[in-house]
Amino acid sequence: MFGNTISLRSLIVMVAVAAVACNTTASGPAFASDRTPPVANTAAPVGLDSTSASTPRAYVPTMVSKWPLSTVFGIETSNLSNAADAIANTGTTWIRRNALIWKDVEPTEGARNWSAAAEVEADMIVASNRNLKFILIIHGAPNWAAQFNNYMCSPIRPDKIAAFAAFVRDAVARYSKPPYNVKYWEIWNEPDLGRPLSGSPTPVVQPYGCWGNQNDPYYGGGEYANILKVVTPEIRATDSRAQVVLGGLLMDCKPNQPPSGDDCRRGRYLEGILRAGGAPYFDVISFHAYDFFGSGNVLGRYLNNNWFSTSNTIGPVLIPKARYIQNLLSQYGVTGKMLMNTEVGLLCFQCNVAPSNFNNTKAYYVSQAYAAAIAEGLGANIWYSYEGWSLSGLDEPTYTAFRVARNKLGGADHRGEVTSADVGASGVKGYKFDINGRSVWVIWSLDGNTKNITLPGTPSAITDALGASVSSASTLQLTVKPLYIEW
């Protein structure tokens, strides 16, 4: 029943509309085909360095930029003030909020009702007081500026782009200074979602873009670039330290190897931005990478079918997505851009309650996803979300796994991958890091089978994904539960 993406998209949108009618307040990711439940992938596993005519070069690891930030660890929340202590106690560096709604603050063109942003303003102050880096998303076209009035989400009318730029300029002038101190400005969220969102019109703004143009081979990426060309100069003129973040790209299929029967033009949105000369008008590329729990309720098993990515062949889907972006930047000669995965999580799609192996799989996924993010050179990897969507929240044991990963990998410098030669066993996945002169490995069984491995020496400490100490020895058993090994 999960093979029909179009009908499922319509079904999910109806569910989303019903949720709006039930006053659901938490902002969630867009509903699109990348979020469909995993189905069996009958295609042969695809190597990460596979290329096609649309990707002229293989991924080169030395292309990855290293950013001098304290940590990649971040969390999105719908209300930081309500859970400030618990969120801060994770050790997170980044907070992301999808909450500055243009429609609410400027219901009439030229007006400014900043009181409508009181809740997110409070969160900005909390983040600033705790020295957290705050990414603020601006979204939600008012009816007077929307191409599709009263829909869940809509692109901006071309004649109102200047008005949007003026609004953003005023927001930067207000929030870049104390007590708010916002420096990261994300222009919309998931603009590469198709337009308009299916379903009945509704006046309620949703937290995604609906800017994708199905009639454009690059899905409207050039139109987004044209918006940046107007908006970004206003941001930079107002605050020279501001960082302009691309609206988090859904990237819900692999452009250079689309799923069967899918031309994946929506996956070419970023290329459309680059082709239109948009590169000088942003500092950060934001993308989203979700995996799905499956299949068969197996501990440690997950996949993302639209990217031919599975836990037992590749690992988290953020790996092929980040590498695709790096290749694309290389192809277009674009350098100096930070990559952020601004929505990462493990989803249990349409689960009313968590299946027996889901919670532990999600906790293990935290270790894997953050180790992979550091290895891929990301500037931030932001868990979606503290509250959760499709059971992705930072409940236990995931909360503990996040804290442990942050404690073990904060400030880590990637030194390479753990190979079969390092441990005397195949089917192993792992990374080597240096942290202030200490050597730390993150390692787990990739194929899911228990491994007897031999380390190059006796570690000073071994800790599992949930913080439990493991007896230090040069030989040990390895399972799908990741281990942190320190020398």
Convert the pLDDT of each residue in 158-201 to its tens digit.
999 999 999 999 999 999 999 999 999 999 999 998 876 555 55
- How high is the pLDDT of residue 395? 97
Computed over every residue of the chain, the mean pLDDT equals 85
* Residue that is last in its domain, among 390, 411, 432: 411
Residue 130, domain member (yes or no): yes
CATH number, residue 425? 2.60.40
pLDDT surpassing 70 at residue 40: no
Q: Residue 486: its pLDDT value, please?
A: 97
Out of 344, 376, 411, a domain closes at 411
- Both 166 and 51 in one domain: the answer is yes
Answer yes or no: do 33 and 93 share one domain. yes
**What is the per-residue pLDDT for 201?**
55
Q: Is residue 403 part of a domain?
A: yes
Q: Residue 95: pLDDT above 90?
A: yes
Same domain, 224 and 314: yes
Determine the pLDDT at residue 60. 35
pLDDT score recorded for residue 330: 97
Shared domain for 453 and 334, answered yes or no, is no
Which tokens belong to 175? 């929030």
pLDDT at 205: 52
Structural domain harbouring 76? 28-38+45-411
Q: Check residue 451 and give its pLDDT.
A: 95
Q: How many domains does the chain have?
A: 2
Dist. CA 99–CA 134, nearest whole Å: 12
Question: Residue 14 above 60 pLDDT?
Answer: no
Please indicate, yes or no, whether residues 316 and 175 belong to a single structural domain of this protein: yes
Say if 23 falls within a structural domain. Answer: no
What's the pLDDT at 8?
A: 32
The answer on pLDDT for 133 being more than 60 is yes
Q: 450 and 389, same structural domain?
A: no
| 295-307 pLDDT per residue, tens | 789 999 999 999 9
Q: Is 105 or 31 the better-scoring residue by pLDDT? A: 105
> What integer is the mean pLDDT of 60-72?
50
Specify the pLDDT at position 370. Answer: 98
pLDDT at 210: 82
Is residue 404 in some structural domain?
Answer: yes
Does 12 reside within a domain? no
* Lowest-confidence pick of 188-192, 203-207, 213-217, 441-445: 203-207
Q: How confident is the model at residue 415 (pLDDT cuts 50, 70, 90)?
A: very high
User: Does residue 445 sit in the same domain as residue 300?
Assistant: no
Question: Using CA atoms, how far apart are residues 484 and 431, in angstroms rounded to an integer?
Answer: 10
Q: How confident is the model at residue 294 (pLDDT cuts 50, 70, 90)?
A: confident
Question: Is residue 327, in this structure, part of any structural domain at all?
Answer: yes
Determine the pLDDT at residue 368.
98
Q: What pLDDT score was predicted for residue 202?
A: 53
Q: Are residues 358 and 459 in the same domain?
A: no
Asked if 329 and 437 sit in the same domain, the reply is: no
Is residue 16 situated within a structural domain? no
pLDDT in the model for residue 2: 30
Chain centroid to CA 241: 23
Q: Which of 238, 26, 281, 284 is nearest to 133 (CA)?
A: 284
Indicate whether 314 pLDDT > 80: yes
Which of 411, 439, 474 lies at the terminal end of a domain, its last residue? 411
Share of the chain above pLDDT 90, in %: 75
Q: What is the pLDDT of residue 154?
A: 84
Residues 177 and 253 in one domain: yes
On the question of pLDDT at 358 being above 90, the answer is yes
**Per-residue pLDDT averaged across 29-49, rounded?**
36
Asked whether residue 438 falls in the same domain as residue 314, the answer is no
- Total residues found in the chain within this entry: 487
Residue 302 belongs to domain with CATH number: 3.20.20.80
**Do residues 231 and 225 make contact, with C-beta atoms less than 8 angstroms apart?**
no
Could you tell me the sign of the dihedral formed by the alpha carbons of 21, 5, 266, 95, in that order? positive
Name the nearest CA neighbour of 273 among 228, 211, 243. 228
Q: Which of 33-37, 151-155, 197-201, 411-415 has the highest mean pLDDT?
A: 411-415
Examine residue 18 and state whether it is found in any structural domain, yes or no.
no
**What amino acid occupies position 331?**
Q
**Do 258 and 354 reside in the same domain of the chain?**
yes
pLDDT band at 352 (very low <50, low <70, confident <90, very high): confident
Name the residue with higher pLDDT: 39 or 128: 128
Q: Which of 4-8, 272-276, 367-371, 469-473 has the lowest mean pLDDT?
A: 4-8
pLDDT digits (tens, 9 = 90+) for 436-460: 899 999 999 999 999 999 999 999 9
